[in-house]
Protein backbone atom coordinates (compact mmCIF):
# COMPACT_ATOMS: atom_id res chain seq x y z
CA UNK A 1 0.00 0.00 0.00
CA UNK A 2 1.35 3.40 -0.91
CA UNK A 3 1.51 6.51 1.29
CA UNK A 4 -1.10 8.26 -0.85
CA UNK A 5 -4.43 8.80 0.88
CA UNK A 6 -7.26 8.02 -1.55
CA UNK A 7 -10.28 10.29 -0.99
CA UNK A 8 -12.33 8.61 -3.69
CA UNK A 9 -12.01 5.82 -6.22
CA UNK A 10 -14.50 7.32 -8.59
CA UNK A 11 -13.14 9.01 -11.65
CA UNK A 12 -14.00 12.57 -12.46
CA UNK A 13 -12.61 12.34 -15.95
CA UNK A 14 -15.73 10.97 -17.59
CA UNK A 15 -19.33 11.99 -17.19
CA UNK A 16 -21.14 11.33 -13.89
CA UNK A 17 -22.83 7.99 -13.19
CA UNK A 18 -25.42 7.50 -15.90
CA UNK A 19 -28.18 5.83 -13.91
CA UNK A 20 -31.86 6.84 -13.86
CA UNK A 21 -33.02 9.13 -11.07
CA UNK A 22 -33.66 7.05 -7.96
CA UNK A 23 -32.03 3.90 -9.36
CA UNK A 24 -30.29 1.88 -6.65
CA UNK A 25 -27.18 1.41 -8.79
CA UNK A 26 -25.97 4.91 -7.94
CA UNK A 27 -26.14 4.26 -4.19
CA UNK A 28 -24.50 0.88 -4.68
CA UNK A 29 -21.59 2.40 -6.63
CA UNK A 30 -21.12 5.12 -4.04
CA UNK A 31 -21.11 2.54 -1.26
CA UNK A 32 -18.47 0.55 -3.12
CA UNK A 33 -16.41 3.72 -3.42
CA UNK A 34 -16.87 4.23 0.33
CA UNK A 35 -15.67 0.70 1.01
CA UNK A 36 -12.57 1.20 -1.13
CA UNK A 37 -11.82 4.51 0.62
CA UNK A 38 -12.14 2.76 3.95
CA UNK A 39 -9.77 -0.02 2.84
CA UNK A 40 -7.32 2.36 1.06
CA UNK A 41 -6.30 -0.24 -1.51
CA UNK A 42 -3.98 0.69 -4.35
CA UNK A 43 -6.18 1.21 -7.43
CA UNK A 44 -4.00 -0.95 -9.69
CA UNK A 45 -4.32 -3.83 -7.22
CA UNK A 46 -8.12 -3.74 -7.36
CA UNK A 47 -10.09 -5.07 -10.33
CA UNK A 48 -13.79 -4.34 -10.64
CA UNK A 49 -15.27 -6.97 -12.91
CA UNK A 50 -18.68 -6.47 -14.50
CA UNK A 51 -20.82 -8.11 -17.09
CA UNK A 52 -24.10 -7.13 -18.66
CA UNK A 53 -26.98 -4.96 -17.59
CA UNK A 54 -27.09 -1.39 -16.31
CA UNK A 55 -24.82 -2.32 -13.39
CA UNK A 56 -22.32 -3.54 -15.98
CA UNK A 57 -21.40 0.01 -16.97
CA UNK A 58 -20.14 0.74 -13.44
CA UNK A 59 -16.55 -0.40 -13.81
CA UNK A 60 -15.42 2.49 -15.99
CA UNK A 61 -16.45 5.06 -13.39
CA UNK A 62 -13.79 3.77 -10.99
CA UNK A 63 -10.11 4.63 -10.92
CA UNK A 64 -9.26 1.01 -10.19
CA UNK A 65 -8.55 -1.55 -12.89
CA UNK A 66 -11.67 -2.69 -14.68
CA UNK A 67 -12.78 -5.77 -16.59
CA UNK A 68 -16.08 -5.64 -18.46
CA UNK A 69 -16.94 -9.07 -19.83
CA UNK A 70 -19.72 -11.05 -21.45
CA UNK A 71 -23.22 -11.20 -20.03
CA UNK A 72 -23.44 -13.41 -16.97
CA UNK A 73 -19.77 -14.42 -16.94
CA UNK A 74 -18.14 -11.85 -14.65
CA UNK A 75 -17.48 -14.50 -12.00
CA UNK A 76 -15.38 -16.54 -14.45
CA UNK A 77 -13.07 -13.64 -15.35
CA UNK A 78 -12.86 -12.65 -11.69
CA UNK A 79 -11.80 -16.20 -10.79
CA UNK A 80 -9.19 -16.26 -13.56
CA UNK A 81 -7.73 -12.95 -12.37
CA UNK A 82 -7.69 -14.07 -8.73
CA UNK A 83 -6.15 -17.47 -9.47
CA UNK A 84 -3.51 -15.88 -11.67
CA UNK A 85 -2.66 -13.10 -9.21
CA UNK A 86 -3.76 -13.97 -5.66
CA UNK A 87 -2.63 -10.57 -4.36
CA UNK A 88 -5.35 -8.80 -6.37
CA UNK A 89 -8.57 -7.62 -4.77
CA UNK A 90 -11.22 -8.76 -7.25
CA UNK A 91 -14.77 -7.47 -6.98
CA UNK A 92 -17.45 -8.70 -9.38
CA UNK A 93 -20.58 -6.61 -9.88
CA UNK A 94 -23.52 -8.45 -11.30
CA UNK A 95 -27.23 -7.97 -11.72
CA UNK A 96 -29.98 -10.44 -10.92
CA UNK A 97 -30.04 -11.15 -14.65
CA UNK A 98 -26.38 -12.17 -14.58
CA UNK A 99 -27.13 -14.52 -11.70
CA UNK A 100 -29.62 -16.29 -13.94
CA UNK A 101 -27.56 -16.67 -17.10
CA UNK A 102 -24.39 -17.30 -15.09
CA UNK A 103 -26.04 -19.32 -12.34
CA UNK A 104 -23.61 -22.21 -12.62
CA UNK A 105 -20.68 -19.87 -12.03
CA UNK A 106 -22.32 -18.59 -8.84
CA UNK A 107 -22.76 -22.15 -7.55
CA UNK A 108 -19.23 -23.12 -8.46
CA UNK A 109 -17.40 -20.09 -7.10
CA UNK A 110 -19.26 -20.58 -3.82
CA UNK A 111 -18.43 -24.28 -3.80
CA UNK A 112 -14.76 -23.73 -4.62
CA UNK A 113 -14.44 -20.72 -2.31
CA UNK A 114 -12.31 -18.62 -4.65
CA UNK A 115 -11.49 -15.36 -2.86
CA UNK A 116 -13.47 -12.86 -4.89
CA UNK A 117 -16.26 -10.56 -3.72
CA UNK A 118 -19.57 -10.70 -5.57
CA UNK A 119 -21.95 -7.78 -5.28
CA UNK A 120 -25.36 -8.46 -6.79
CA UNK A 121 -27.43 -5.44 -7.75
CA UNK A 122 -30.80 -7.15 -7.40
CA UNK A 123 -33.69 -5.11 -8.79
CA UNK A 124 -35.87 -8.02 -9.95
CA UNK A 125 -35.70 -7.39 -13.67
CA UNK A 126 -33.48 -6.76 -16.66
CA UNK A 127 -33.23 -2.99 -16.81
CA UNK A 128 -30.97 -2.69 -19.83
CA UNK A 129 -33.00 -4.83 -22.21
CA UNK A 130 -36.39 -3.32 -21.40
CA UNK A 131 -37.53 -4.71 -18.07
CA UNK A 132 -37.92 -8.44 -18.65
CA UNK A 133 -38.26 -10.84 -15.72
CA UNK A 134 -35.25 -12.46 -14.04
CA UNK A 135 -34.62 -15.35 -11.68
CA UNK A 136 -35.40 -13.05 -8.73
CA UNK A 137 -38.60 -11.45 -10.06
CA UNK A 138 -41.22 -11.95 -7.33
CA UNK A 139 -44.23 -14.13 -7.95
CA UNK A 140 -46.99 -12.11 -9.67
CA UNK A 141 -44.47 -9.39 -10.59
CA UNK A 142 -45.30 -7.47 -13.77
CA UNK A 143 -42.48 -7.20 -16.28
CA UNK A 144 -42.34 -6.81 -20.04
CA UNK A 145 -41.98 -10.59 -20.36
CA UNK A 146 -44.60 -11.40 -17.68
CA UNK A 147 -47.34 -8.93 -18.58
CA UNK A 148 -49.96 -11.11 -16.86
CA UNK A 149 -47.88 -11.42 -13.66
CA UNK A 150 -44.92 -13.71 -13.02
CA UNK A 151 -45.93 -17.37 -12.73
CA UNK A 152 -42.33 -18.42 -11.90
CA UNK A 153 -41.06 -18.46 -8.34
CA UNK A 154 -37.98 -16.34 -7.52
CA UNK A 155 -34.83 -17.90 -6.15
CA UNK A 156 -33.28 -16.72 -2.92
CA UNK A 157 -29.75 -15.84 -4.03
CA UNK A 158 -28.43 -15.92 -0.46
CA UNK A 159 -29.70 -19.37 0.41
CA UNK A 160 -28.65 -20.59 -3.05
CA UNK A 161 -25.09 -19.40 -2.44
CA UNK A 162 -25.21 -20.79 1.09
CA UNK A 163 -26.41 -24.18 -0.14
CA UNK A 164 -23.50 -24.23 -2.58
CA UNK A 165 -21.11 -23.70 0.32
CA UNK A 166 -20.42 -19.95 0.23
CA UNK A 167 -18.24 -18.91 3.17
CA UNK A 168 -19.73 -15.42 3.65
CA UNK A 169 -23.17 -14.24 2.54
CA UNK A 170 -25.02 -11.03 3.34
CA UNK A 171 -28.32 -9.49 2.25
CA UNK A 172 -28.60 -5.72 2.18
CA UNK A 173 -30.62 -2.97 0.53
CA UNK A 174 -29.45 0.26 -1.00
CA UNK A 175 -31.32 1.99 1.81
CA UNK A 176 -28.92 0.57 4.41
CA UNK A 177 -26.78 3.27 6.00
CA UNK A 178 -23.89 0.86 6.59
CA UNK A 179 -23.70 -0.51 3.03
CA UNK A 180 -20.13 0.76 2.51
CA UNK A 181 -19.00 -0.94 5.72
CA UNK A 182 -20.71 -4.17 4.70
CA UNK A 183 -18.94 -4.06 1.34
CA UNK A 184 -15.62 -3.42 3.08
CA UNK A 185 -16.17 -6.39 5.38
CA UNK A 186 -17.04 -8.57 2.39
CA UNK A 187 -13.93 -7.46 0.48
CA UNK A 188 -11.78 -8.32 3.48
CA UNK A 189 -12.98 -11.92 3.54
CA UNK A 190 -10.21 -14.26 2.38
CA UNK A 191 -12.71 -16.56 0.67
CA UNK A 192 -15.73 -16.02 -1.52
CA UNK A 193 -18.12 -13.36 -0.21
CA UNK A 194 -21.48 -12.44 -1.71
CA UNK A 195 -23.76 -9.50 -0.95
CA UNK A 196 -27.27 -9.63 -2.39
CA UNK A 197 -28.25 -5.95 -2.56
CA UNK A 198 -31.97 -5.28 -3.00
CA UNK A 199 -32.76 -2.07 -4.80
CA UNK A 200 -35.29 -0.28 -6.94
CA UNK A 201 -35.42 -0.11 -10.72
CA UNK A 202 -37.15 3.21 -11.17
CA UNK A 203 -37.51 2.82 -14.93
CA UNK A 204 -39.32 -0.52 -15.11
CA UNK A 205 -39.93 -2.80 -12.17
CA UNK A 206 -40.70 -0.04 -9.65
CA UNK A 207 -43.38 1.82 -11.61
CA UNK A 208 -44.91 -1.34 -13.11
CA UNK A 209 -45.37 -2.88 -9.67
CA UNK A 210 -45.80 0.27 -7.57
CA UNK A 211 -42.66 -0.84 -5.74
CA UNK A 212 -41.24 1.87 -3.53
CA UNK A 213 -38.88 1.78 -0.57
CA UNK A 214 -41.46 0.54 1.97
CA UNK A 215 -42.74 -2.05 -0.50
CA UNK A 216 -39.24 -3.42 -0.87
CA UNK A 217 -39.15 -4.27 2.83
CA UNK A 218 -42.69 -5.66 2.65
CA UNK A 219 -41.56 -7.86 -0.23
CA UNK A 220 -38.70 -9.20 1.88
CA UNK A 221 -41.20 -10.08 4.61
CA UNK A 222 -43.64 -11.63 2.15
CA UNK A 223 -40.91 -13.89 0.79
CA UNK A 224 -39.65 -14.54 4.31
CA UNK A 225 -36.19 -13.30 3.34
CA UNK A 226 -34.06 -11.91 6.20
CA UNK A 227 -31.67 -9.00 5.87
CA UNK A 228 -28.15 -8.96 7.29
CA UNK A 229 -25.47 -11.61 7.65
CA UNK A 230 -26.63 -14.98 6.35
CA UNK A 231 -23.45 -17.06 6.42
CA UNK A 232 -20.10 -16.49 8.13
CA UNK A 233 -18.23 -19.77 7.99
CA UNK A 234 -14.66 -19.13 6.89
CA UNK A 235 -12.80 -22.01 5.28
CA UNK A 236 -9.56 -22.17 3.30
CA UNK A 237 -9.61 -20.22 0.06
CA UNK A 238 -9.27 -22.23 -3.15
CA UNK A 239 -6.07 -20.64 -4.45
CA UNK A 240 -4.39 -20.96 -1.07
CA UNK A 241 -5.43 -24.62 -0.89
CA UNK A 242 -4.21 -25.18 -4.43
CA UNK A 243 -0.80 -23.74 -3.70
CA UNK A 244 -0.58 -25.68 -0.45
CA UNK A 245 -1.58 -28.91 -2.18
CA UNK A 246 1.09 -28.35 -4.84
CA UNK A 247 3.76 -27.92 -2.18
CA UNK A 248 2.64 -30.92 -0.16
CA UNK A 249 1.89 -33.39 -2.87
CA UNK A 250 4.23 -36.23 -3.41
CA UNK A 251 6.27 -36.11 -6.55
CA UNK A 252 4.39 -38.07 -9.16
CA UNK A 253 6.43 -41.13 -10.04
CA UNK A 254 7.67 -40.22 -13.48
CA UNK A 255 8.27 -43.15 -15.74
CA UNK A 256 11.40 -43.20 -17.78
CA UNK A 257 10.48 -41.64 -21.08
CA UNK A 258 13.45 -41.91 -23.39
CA UNK A 259 14.06 -44.96 -25.52
CA UNK A 260 17.44 -45.34 -27.17
CA UNK A 261 17.38 -47.79 -30.05
CA UNK A 262 19.83 -50.54 -29.12
CA UNK A 263 18.61 -53.77 -30.73
CA UNK A 264 18.42 -54.86 -34.34
CA UNK A 265 15.18 -55.46 -36.23
CA UNK A 266 14.14 -57.61 -39.12
CA UNK A 267 11.41 -55.56 -40.76
CA UNK A 268 11.87 -54.08 -44.21
CA UNK A 269 8.41 -52.60 -44.74
CA UNK A 270 5.57 -51.00 -42.85
CA UNK A 271 3.93 -53.75 -40.79
CA UNK A 272 0.46 -53.62 -39.27
CA UNK A 273 -0.55 -55.53 -36.14
CA UNK A 274 -4.04 -55.70 -34.63
CA UNK A 275 -4.60 -57.06 -31.14
CA UNK A 276 -8.24 -57.64 -30.26
CA UNK A 277 -9.37 -58.70 -26.83
CA UNK A 278 -11.56 -57.68 -23.97
CA UNK A 279 -11.56 -55.19 -21.15
CA UNK A 280 -9.25 -56.20 -18.32
CA UNK A 281 -6.80 -58.01 -20.58
CA UNK A 282 -4.38 -55.07 -20.58
CA UNK A 283 -4.56 -54.93 -24.36
CA UNK A 284 -3.71 -51.24 -24.68
CA UNK A 285 -0.87 -51.09 -22.17
CA UNK A 286 0.67 -54.33 -23.50
CA UNK A 287 0.46 -52.98 -27.04
CA UNK A 288 2.23 -49.81 -25.90
CA UNK A 289 5.05 -51.84 -24.32
CA UNK A 290 5.34 -53.89 -27.48
CA UNK A 291 5.59 -50.76 -29.58
CA UNK A 292 8.21 -49.39 -27.21
CA UNK A 293 10.08 -52.67 -27.62
CA UNK A 294 10.00 -52.09 -31.36
CA UNK A 295 11.42 -48.60 -30.83
CA UNK A 296 14.22 -50.15 -28.77
CA UNK A 297 14.83 -52.25 -31.89
CA UNK A 298 15.23 -49.11 -34.01
CA UNK A 299 11.75 -49.06 -35.50
CA UNK A 300 9.20 -46.29 -35.78
CA UNK A 301 5.82 -47.08 -34.25
CA UNK A 302 2.25 -45.82 -33.96
CA UNK A 303 -0.65 -47.06 -31.85
CA UNK A 304 -4.36 -46.39 -31.88
CA UNK A 305 -6.93 -47.91 -29.58
CA UNK A 306 -10.61 -48.73 -29.85
CA UNK A 307 -12.66 -49.35 -26.72
CA UNK A 308 -16.18 -48.54 -25.54
CA UNK A 309 -16.90 -45.63 -23.18
CA UNK A 310 -17.63 -48.18 -20.46
CA UNK A 311 -13.94 -48.97 -20.20
CA UNK A 312 -14.23 -51.93 -17.87
CA UNK A 313 -16.55 -53.89 -20.11
CA UNK A 314 -16.61 -54.99 -23.73
CA UNK A 315 -13.90 -55.04 -26.37
CA UNK A 316 -10.45 -53.54 -26.36
CA UNK A 317 -8.55 -53.34 -29.61
CA UNK A 318 -5.15 -51.83 -30.33
CA UNK A 319 -3.69 -51.22 -33.75
CA UNK A 320 0.09 -50.99 -34.01
CA UNK A 321 2.13 -50.03 -37.03
CA UNK A 322 5.86 -50.67 -37.12
CA UNK A 323 8.21 -49.46 -39.81
CA UNK A 324 11.89 -48.93 -40.44
CA UNK A 325 10.90 -45.58 -41.96
CA UNK A 326 8.64 -42.66 -41.15
CA UNK A 327 5.02 -43.76 -40.79
CA UNK A 328 2.67 -41.56 -42.74
CA UNK A 329 -0.73 -43.20 -43.11
CA UNK A 330 -1.77 -44.75 -39.80
CA UNK A 331 -4.75 -46.72 -41.09
CA UNK A 332 -4.45 -50.42 -41.86
CA UNK A 333 -6.54 -51.93 -44.64
CA UNK A 334 -4.73 -55.29 -44.52
CA UNK A 335 -2.96 -56.09 -41.27
CA UNK A 336 0.04 -58.37 -41.44
CA UNK A 337 -0.66 -59.87 -38.02
CA UNK A 338 -3.90 -60.20 -36.10
CA UNK A 339 -4.07 -61.38 -32.49
CA UNK A 340 -7.49 -62.45 -31.25
CA UNK A 341 -7.75 -63.05 -27.53
CA UNK A 342 -11.38 -62.95 -26.39
CA UNK A 343 -15.02 -63.27 -27.46
CA UNK A 344 -15.48 -59.49 -27.01
CA UNK A 345 -12.62 -58.85 -29.41
CA UNK A 346 -14.10 -61.33 -31.88
CA UNK A 347 -17.55 -59.74 -31.66
CA UNK A 348 -16.13 -56.32 -32.44
CA UNK A 349 -13.68 -57.45 -35.13
CA UNK A 350 -15.72 -60.21 -36.82
CA UNK A 351 -16.20 -58.38 -40.14
CA UNK A 352 -12.59 -57.36 -40.16
CA UNK A 353 -11.48 -60.96 -39.63
CA UNK A 354 -13.69 -62.13 -42.49
CA UNK A 355 -11.90 -59.65 -44.75
CA UNK A 356 -8.34 -60.55 -43.68
CA UNK A 357 -6.11 -61.33 -46.67
CA UNK A 358 -4.05 -64.48 -47.11
CA UNK A 359 -0.94 -62.44 -46.33
CA UNK A 360 -2.14 -61.98 -42.77
CA UNK A 361 -1.29 -64.33 -39.94
CA UNK A 362 -4.11 -64.69 -37.41
CA UNK A 363 -3.20 -65.92 -33.95
CA UNK A 364 -6.43 -66.89 -32.24
CA UNK A 365 -7.22 -68.36 -28.89
CA UNK A 366 -8.12 -72.03 -29.22
CA UNK A 367 -11.53 -71.65 -27.62
CA UNK A 368 -12.86 -69.05 -30.09
CA UNK A 369 -15.13 -70.04 -32.97
CA UNK A 370 -13.67 -68.21 -35.94
CA UNK A 371 -15.58 -66.99 -38.98
CA UNK A 372 -14.33 -67.98 -42.42
CA UNK A 373 -11.16 -66.08 -43.28
CA UNK A 374 -8.35 -66.17 -45.81
CA UNK A 375 -5.76 -65.47 -43.16
CA UNK A 376 -3.29 -68.11 -42.09
CA UNK A 377 -4.66 -69.21 -38.76
CA UNK A 378 -2.52 -70.24 -35.79
CA UNK A 379 -4.50 -71.62 -32.88
CA UNK A 380 -2.80 -71.16 -29.53
CA UNK A 381 -4.10 -71.75 -25.98
CA UNK A 382 -3.73 -68.13 -24.82
CA UNK A 383 -6.66 -68.28 -22.40
CA UNK A 384 -5.50 -71.57 -20.87
CA UNK A 385 -2.07 -70.13 -20.38
CA UNK A 386 -3.74 -66.99 -19.06
CA UNK A 387 -5.15 -69.05 -16.20
CA UNK A 388 -1.59 -69.86 -15.22
CA UNK A 389 0.13 -66.55 -15.90
CA UNK A 390 -2.90 -64.44 -14.93
CA UNK A 391 -5.48 -62.62 -17.06
CA UNK A 392 -3.47 -59.42 -16.84
CA UNK A 393 -0.64 -61.01 -18.79
CA UNK A 394 -2.57 -62.69 -21.62
CA UNK A 395 -1.84 -59.91 -24.07
CA UNK A 396 1.89 -60.00 -23.28
CA UNK A 397 1.80 -63.76 -23.78
CA UNK A 398 0.21 -63.36 -27.19
CA UNK A 399 2.69 -60.66 -28.22
CA UNK A 400 5.52 -62.94 -27.03
CA UNK A 401 4.14 -65.64 -29.29
CA UNK A 402 3.91 -63.19 -32.20
CA UNK A 403 7.54 -62.18 -31.77
CA UNK A 404 8.73 -65.78 -31.57
CA UNK A 405 6.81 -66.74 -34.67
CA UNK A 406 7.44 -63.67 -36.79
CA UNK A 407 10.93 -62.66 -35.69
CA UNK A 408 10.02 -58.97 -36.24
CA UNK A 409 12.53 -57.91 -33.61
CA UNK A 410 14.32 -59.60 -30.70
CA UNK A 411 12.34 -60.56 -27.62
CA UNK A 412 15.08 -58.81 -25.61
CA UNK A 413 13.89 -55.48 -26.96
CA UNK A 414 10.33 -56.20 -25.78
CA UNK A 415 11.73 -57.29 -22.40
CA UNK A 416 13.76 -54.07 -22.21
CA UNK A 417 10.58 -52.03 -22.69
CA UNK A 418 8.74 -54.04 -20.05
CA UNK A 419 11.56 -53.64 -17.58
CA UNK A 420 12.05 -49.94 -18.28
CA UNK A 421 8.43 -48.89 -18.02
CA UNK A 422 6.87 -51.20 -15.44
CA UNK A 423 7.35 -51.66 -11.74
CA UNK A 424 9.82 -54.50 -11.04
CA UNK A 425 7.30 -57.02 -9.69
CA UNK A 426 4.90 -56.51 -12.61
CA UNK A 427 7.75 -56.46 -15.12
CA UNK A 428 8.99 -59.80 -13.84
CA UNK A 429 5.58 -61.42 -14.32
CA UNK A 430 5.23 -59.87 -17.76
CA UNK A 431 8.62 -61.03 -18.99
CA UNK A 432 7.66 -64.53 -17.83
CA UNK A 433 4.39 -64.23 -19.71
CA UNK A 434 6.22 -63.09 -22.84
CA UNK A 435 8.54 -66.11 -22.63
CA UNK A 436 5.60 -68.44 -22.01
CA UNK A 437 4.00 -67.10 -25.19
CA UNK A 438 7.19 -67.82 -27.11
CA UNK A 439 7.13 -71.31 -25.61
CA UNK A 440 3.64 -71.93 -26.99
CA UNK A 441 4.90 -71.27 -30.50
CA UNK A 442 8.01 -73.37 -30.06
CA UNK A 443 5.85 -76.31 -28.94
CA UNK A 444 3.89 -76.20 -32.19
CA UNK A 445 7.06 -76.53 -34.25
CA UNK A 446 7.99 -79.93 -35.59
Partner 1 sequence: MSFPDQRSGTRVAFEFIEGNEAIARGALRAKCDFVASYPLTPASSILTYMLQLLPEAGGIAIQAEDEIASMGFCIGAAMAGRKVLTSTSGPGMSLYSENIGLAIMGETPMVIVDVQRQGPATGSATQGAEGDIQFTRWGTSGGLPIIALSPATVGEAYELTYRAFNFAERYRTPVFLLTNKEIGMTKESVSLDAIELPPLVERKRVPPGQSEYVPHFFRTAEEVPAISDFGGEYVVRYTTSTHDQAGYLTTRPEIIQEMLAHYRAKIEMAIDEITLVKQDLQENADTLVISYGVTSRSAAVAIREARSRGRKVSSLVLQTLWPVPERAIQSAMAGVKRIIVPEMNMGQYLIEVERLAPRDAEVVGVNKMDTTLLSPAEILEQGGLQ
Is 329 a binder of partner 1 (CB under 8 A)? yes
Among 3, 224, 333, 369, binds partner 1 (CB under 8 A): 333
Nearest to 32 by CA among 172, 162, 147, 129: 172
Separation between Cα atoms, residue 403 and residue 435, nearest integer Å:
10
Among 160, 173, 281, 303, binds partner 1 (CB under 8 A): 303
Give the residue with the Cβ less far from partner 1, 48 or 142: 48
According to DSSP, the residues that pair with 120 across neighbouring strands are 94, 196
Helix (H) or strand (E) holding 32: helix 24-39
Helix (H) or strand (E) holding 365: strand 361-365
Is 257 a binder of partner 1 (CB under 8 A)? yes
Give the residue with the Cβ less far from partner 1, 304 or 432: 304
Contact stretch for partner 1 (CB under 8 A) within 68-76, 142-150, 381-389, 438-446: 68-76
Helix (H) or strand (E) holding 248: helix 238-248
CA distances, 262 to each of 400, 412, 427 (Å) = 19, 10, 19
Among 132, 242, 378, 432, binds partner 1 (CB under 8 A): 242
To the nearest 10°, the Cα dihedral for 22, 10, 106, 247?
Answer: -160
Closest CB 397 distance from partner 1, rounded Å? 21
Nearest to 333 by CA among 267, 286, 274: 274
Among 325, 354, 366, 428, binds partner 1 (CB under 8 A): 325
Instruction: Give 385-420 as a DSSP string.
Output: HHHHH-GGGHHHHHHHHHHHHH-SS-HHHHHHHHHH
Exposure of 165 in the CB half-sphere (CA atoms within 13 A): 14
Is 232 a binder of partner 1 (CB under 8 A)? no
HEC secondary structure over 295-346: HHCCCEEEEEEECCCCCCCCEEEEEEEEECCCCCCCCCCCCCEEEECCHHHH
Site for partner 1 in 21-50 (CB under 8 A): 43-45, 47, 49
Is 57 a binder of partner 1 (CB under 8 A)? yes
Is 439 a binder of partner 1 (CB under 8 A)? no
Task: Judge whether 60 and 25 are in contact, CB under 8 Å.
Answer: no
Give the residue with the Cβ less far from partner 1, 181 or 305: 305
Is 414 a binder of partner 1 (CB under 8 A)? no
Give the residue with the Cβ less far from partner 1, 148 or 329: 329
Tell me the per-residue interface mask from 148 to 167 with partner 1, x by CB under 8 A, - otherwise: --------------------
Is 108 a binder of partner 1 (CB under 8 A)? yes
Long-range contacts of 359-363 (CB under 8 A, 24+ apart): 359/334, 360/334, 360/335, 360/336, 361/336, 361/337, 361/405, 361/406, 362/338, 363/337, 363/338, 363/339, 363/398, 363/401, 363/402, 363/405
Contact stretch for partner 1 (CB under 8 A) within 151-159, 239-247, 353-361, 429-437: 239-247
Nearest to 429 by CA among 402, 380, 391: 391
Closest CB 210 distance from partner 1, rounded Å? 34
Among 27, 29, 58, 63, binds partner 1 (CB under 8 A): 63
Give the residue with the Cβ less far from partner 1, 182 or 360: 360
Is 64 a binder of partner 1 (CB under 8 A)? yes
Site for partner 1 in 2-21 (CB under 8 A): 14
Write the CB contacts of 218 (distance below 8 Å, at least 6 apart in sequence).
Answer: none
Contact stretch for partner 1 (CB under 8 A) within 184-192, 196-204, 304-312, 349-357: 304-312
Among 128, 274, 295, 436, binds partner 1 (CB under 8 A): 295
DSSP assignment letter at 10: B
Site for partner 1 in 72-91 (CB under 8 A): 73, 75-85, 87-88
Is 70 a binder of partner 1 (CB under 8 A)? yes
What does the binding site for partner 1 look like in residue numbers (CB under 8 A)? Answer: 14, 43-45, 47, 49, 57, 59-60, 63-70, 73, 75-85, 87-88, 104-105, 107-108, 242, 245-246, 249, 251-252, 257-261, 264, 288, 291-292, 295, 298-305, 309, 324-331, 333
Amino acid sequence: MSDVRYETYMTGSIKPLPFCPGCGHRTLNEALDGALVKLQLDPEKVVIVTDIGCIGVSDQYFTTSAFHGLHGRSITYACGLKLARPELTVIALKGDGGCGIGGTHLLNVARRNIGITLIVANNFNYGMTGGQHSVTTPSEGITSSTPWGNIEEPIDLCSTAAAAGAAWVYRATTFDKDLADVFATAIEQPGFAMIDVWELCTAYYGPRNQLKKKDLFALLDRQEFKLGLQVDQPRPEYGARYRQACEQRNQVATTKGAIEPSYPNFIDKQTGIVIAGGAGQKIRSSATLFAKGAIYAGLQATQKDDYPITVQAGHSISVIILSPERIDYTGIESPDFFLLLSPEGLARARERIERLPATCTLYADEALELPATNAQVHRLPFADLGVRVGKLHVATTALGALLEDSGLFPAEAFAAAIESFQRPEIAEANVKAMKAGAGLVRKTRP
